[in-house]
Amino acid sequence: MAETFAPTSIIVTGGAGFIGSNFVHWVVNNQPDVHVTVLDALTYAGNRENLAGIPDDRMTFVHGDICDAALVDELFADADAVVHFAAESHNDNSISDPAPFVRTNIEGTYTLLEAARKHGVRFHHISTDEVYGDLALDDPARFTEETPYRPSSPYSSSKASSDMLVRAWHRTYGLPITISNCSNNYGPRQHIEKFIPRQITNILTGIRPKLYGDGKNVRDWIHTEDHSSAVWAILTQGELGETYLIGADGERNNIDVLHAILEGMGQGPDDFDWVRDRPGHDRRYAIDSSKLRRELGWQPKHTDFAEGLSATIDWYRDNEDWWRADKEATEAKYAAQGQ
């Protein structure tokens, strides 16, 4: 195991987004000696309210773009580490307009890497299992750190590109980096365009949930709090230059997840509509996180999916003010795509 790294001042890019904000809350709740600077452009997926309740002495919020080299340079001058969550991340959006994905995920990562190189900042890069492409439904294999890259959408291709840049800056310039590729997160504060919160908020607003294709596509689900604890373990204990896959053995197909939501919200098993499949829809993702568990001793805590899903449903039910204003526009966009 690598020597433990103990940062006291970290930058979290995309820290007002779903996964990033949950990580910020986790750090504030679990690491009392760490000050967090959040850098977020507050695009549609970022929400300042996601950081509500965090004491001012524990967090500084900066509204800005990771492609703004001058701003990034200024922030990195006083930081020990950066945890880079910021990304355009929705597959459907990348299919309709890839340009923001190339700019944010590739150019933005390059801008951060150059600042980290200048100031000697420890760099942890948040990636996705989607860079590996997909697996057949009847294939017993799971993704490992050695799986070749085979991205299939503009989104996953842009994330694969950013991963390669991070590795190049380590090998060429000696930048202290780690990378984590994680499976699908679920939990509070996830934008309602995503699968689980879309179905929950549809039911809460009297709209029938929608299911792509045949519903057999498999995703490997992990609660966002488990993702946060894994990222911290990698940042502080991970071997520099290494990649770690984060997963909680949560493989489920989409129709089973939808049925669990319907049941948990008092709906019938057939109370949804089938819609045409998205182009290039990956069939199955599955993560083998044994390296992370073996080398760093990490274990997920939220291993009961039904319990985690129930708590997530409760959060959206109890926080309608957080999502209601975005719901109509989100569904209008899907309707225009026939989904």
Residue partners of 14: CB distance under 8 A and separation at least 6: 20, 39, 40, 46, 84, 85, 86, 87
Q: Known catalytic residue: 318?
A: no
Instruction: Give the CA angle between residues 165, 147, 45 to the nearest 5°.
Output: 55
* CB < 8 Å & 24+ apart, contacts of 304-311: 305/221, 305/250, 305/252, 305/260, 306/260, 306/264, 308/186, 308/187, 308/223, 309/186, 309/196, 309/257, 309/260, 309/261, 309/264, 310/264, 311/187
Could you tell me which of 287, 301, 271, 93 has the C-alpha nearest to residue 187?
A: 301
The H-or-E segment that residue 13 falls in is strand 9-13
Helix (H) or strand (E) holding 297: none
Strand partners, 287: 143
Q: Which amino acid, residue 61?
A: F
* Total residue length of the chain: 339
129 is catalytic: yes
Q: Which of 110, 155, 186, 316 is catalytic?
A: 155
Q: At what angle do helices 305-318 and 195-204 cross, to 10 degrees?
A: 50
The catalytic position among 65, 130, 193, 220 is: 130
Q: How many angstroms separate the CA atoms of 271 and 309, rounded?
A: 18
Judge residue 80's burial from the number of C-beta atoms within 10 Å of its C-beta, 0-12 exposed, 13-18 middle, 19 or more buried: middle
**Marked catalytic residue, from 65, 129, 163, 331:** 129
Per the annotation, the verdict on 155 as an active-site residue is yes
Q: Known catalytic residues?
A: 129-130, 155
